[in-house]
Chains A and B, each alone.
Chain A
Amino acid sequence: MRPLRQIKNSISHARVELNPDADQAVLQHLLGELATVTRDALQPRENEALSAADLLTVGCLNAAFRRGGLEAVEQLCDVAAERLGFRPERISVAELINDCYL
Chain B
Amino acid sequence: MREDRFLISELRQGSSEALCRVYEKYRDDLLRLAVSLSNDTAVAEDIVHDVLVSFIRQSRQFELTGSLKSYLATCVANRARNVNRAGRIRRATSLDEAGNAVAESWRPDQWLVCSEELRQIAGALALLPGEQREAITLHLQGGMKFREIAEFQHVPLKTALSRYRGGLLKLRSLLNSEVSECDR
A interface residues (Cβ-Cβ under 8 A, vs B): 1-2, 4, 7-8, 10-12, 14-19, 22-23, 26-27, 29-31, 33-35, 37-38, 41, 90, 92-94, 96-98, 101
Q: Which residues of A contact B16 (CB under 8 A)?
A: 31, 34-35
Q: Which residues of B contact A35 (CB under 8 A)?
A: 14, 16
Residues of B99-129 at the interface with A, using a CB-CB cut-off of 8 Å, are: 107, 109-115, 117-118, 121, 125
- A7 vs B57: C-alpha distance in the bound complex, in angstroms? 37
Cross-interface CB contact of B113 among A19, A92, A98, cutoff 8 Å: A19
* B68 on interface, CB distance cutoff 8 Å: no
CB-nearest residue of chain B to A93: B45
Cross-interface CB contact of A11 among B50, B59, B107, B140, cutoff 8 Å: B140
CB-nearest residue of chain B to A3: B172
Interface SS of chain A: helix, strand, loop or mixed?
helix
B14 A11 Cβ-Cβ under 8 A: no
A27 B141 Cβ-Cβ under 8 A: no
In this complex, which of B23, B53, B107 has the most chain A Cβ atoms within 10 angstroms of its Cβ? B53
Sample (15) of A-B pairs whose CB atoms are under 8 Å apart: A2-B176, A2-B179, A4-B169, A4-B172, A7-B171, A17-B114, A18-B112, A19-B113, A22-B111, A26-B111, A30-B23, A33-B53, A92-B45, A94-B107, A101-B109
B interface residues (Cβ-Cβ under 8 A, vs A): 11, 13-14, 16, 19-20, 23, 27-28, 31-32, 36, 42, 45-46, 49-50, 52-53, 56-57, 59-60, 107, 109-115, 117-118, 121, 125, 136-137, 140-141, 168-169, 171-172, 175-176, 179
Cross-interface CB contact of A16 among B20, B31, B168, cutoff 8 Å: B31
Interface SS of chain B: helix, strand, loop or mixed?
helix
Q: Which residues of B contact A92 (CB under 8 A)?
A: 45-46, 49
Cross-interface CB contact of B53 among A11, A14, A30, cutoff 8 Å: A30
Q: Which residues of B contact A2 (CB under 8 A)?
A: 172, 175-176, 179
Q: Which residues of B contact A22 (CB under 8 A)?
A: 109-111
- A12 vs B32: C-alpha distance in the bound complex, in angstroms? 9
